[in-house]
Amino acid sequence: MTMSSNTPLPPNLAEGLKVLRAKWGWIVALGVVFLIAGFIALGSAVAATASAVMIVGIMMIMGGVAEIVAAFSVKGWGKFAVWMLLGLLYVGAGVIAIGNPFAAATILTLMLGAALVAGGVLRIFLAFSMKSAGKPWGWVVVSGLVTLLLGAMIIAQWPASSFFVLGIFLGIDLIFIGSGWVTMGLALKNRPVA
């Protein structure tokens, strides 16, 4: 696959790293912005939850519009109707999420808790199948237990947890993303010039 751009691509990895090294300050600044946003999200988890649900709602509307547009390229009434219905459902769900973010957060939080419980159970099951194969399995069990317990805690506090869980997850995610960008920028700054 070729890319058309006015900027020539670096011929090798070392040249690409030189280009990035020159921009290390911008990369660190981006990381700091993500870190600040993450701490703000943790500080106001309810507002962050509403924001996260609104973003999901906007994405659902965009996906629904894409489905509706794609429906017109489908030949045959049955397939057209299915694609159109899916698109309308996505748009409708997105509008509901934007119009009432806390009701949508309630549903999303319950689904998240259930997914974590199911993921934890599956991870524990996988660990015991790894044990019978003679592979290291202890950390997989610990990971499964943590995931299972987290999901159980979310469900146990539901629907009250709906107001803050998604915001906390968003804040933590932004902090990890920001830390990654800051670390990469500082590593590029300290990298010796080749």
Encode pLDDT of 92-118 as tens digits: 989 988 988 888 888 888 888 899 899
Task: Please tell me the predicted confidence (pLDDT) of residue 1.
Answer: 46
pTM equals 0.64
pLDDT at 169 over 70: yes
Task: Please tell me the predicted confidence (pLDDT) of residue 193.
Answer: 60
Residue type, 186: L
Handedness of CA 74, 76, 77, 78 (dihedral sign): negative
What are the pLDDT digits (tens) for 7-43?
555 566 667 677 777 788 888 888 999 999 889 888 8
Task: Please tell me the predicted confidence (pLDDT) of residue 8.
Answer: 59
Task: Please tell me the predicted confidence (pLDDT) of residue 163.
Answer: 83
> Whole-number mean pLDDT of the chain?
83
pLDDT at 177 over 70: yes
Task: Please tell me the predicted confidence (pLDDT) of residue 16.
Answer: 67
- Over residues 42-67, mean pLDDT: 88
Alpha-carbon span 78 to 52, nearest angstrom: 35
What are the pLDDT digits (tens) for 112-167?
889 989 998 998 888 888 777 667 778 878 888 988 998 898 898 888 888 888 88
